A and B are shown apart, each in its own frame.
Chain A
Amino acid sequence: MLKYLIPLALFVVLVFFLAIGLTRDPHELQSALINKPAPTFHLAQLKAPDKTFSNEDMRGKVWLLNVWASWCIACRDEHPYLLEYAKTGAVPIYGLNYKDRQEDALGWLGELGDPYLVSGVDLDGRVGIDYGVYGAPETYVIDKSGMIRLKHVGPLMPDVWSKEILPLVQDLNRQGTPK
Chain B
Amino acid sequence: MTRLRFLALLLICVLASFVMAQVQEEEVPSDDPVIEQRLTNLSKELRCLQCQNQTLADSPAGLAADLRREIRVQMKAGKSDQEVIAFLTQRYGDFILYKPRVTFTTYLLWFGPFVLLLGGLYVLFVYIKRRRDSFDEKPLTADERRRAEALLASASGKETT
Residues of A bordering B, CB below 8 Å: 26-27, 29-33, 69-73, 98-101, 104, 123-126, 128-135
Contact pick for A32, options B23, B24, B62, B93, CB 8 Å: B93
15 contacts between A and B (CB under 8 A): A32-B93, A33-B91, A71-B21, A72-B22, A73-B20, A98-B22, A99-B23, A100-B22, A100-B23, A104-B19, A124-B25, A125-B63, A125-B66, A129-B70, A132-B91
Which residues in B have their C-beta under 8 angstroms from that of A131?
91
B103 contacts A by Cβ under 8 Å: no
Identify whether the interface residues of B are mostly helix, strand, loop, or mixed: helix
Contacts beyond the supplied A32-B93, A71-B21, A131-B91: 18 A-B pairs with Cβ under 8 Å: A29-B93, A29-B95, A30-B93, A32-B94, A71-B19, A72-B22, A99-B22, A99-B23, A99-B24, A100-B23, A101-B23, A124-B25, A125-B66, A128-B66, A129-B66, A132-B92, A132-B93, A135-B49
Q: When the two chains form their complex, are residues A32 and B22 in contact, meaning their CB atoms are under 8 A apart? A: no
Q: When the two chains form their complex, are residues A32 and B21 in contact, meaning their CB atoms are under 8 A apart? A: no
Q: When the two chains form their complex, are residues B52 and A27 in contact, meaning their CB atoms are under 8 A apart? A: yes
Which residues in A have their C-beta under 8 angstroms from that of B80?
none
Q: When the two chains form their complex, are residues B90 and A69 in contact, meaning their CB atoms are under 8 A apart? A: no
A99-B62, A132-B91 known; A71 vs B52 contact (CB < 8 Å) = no
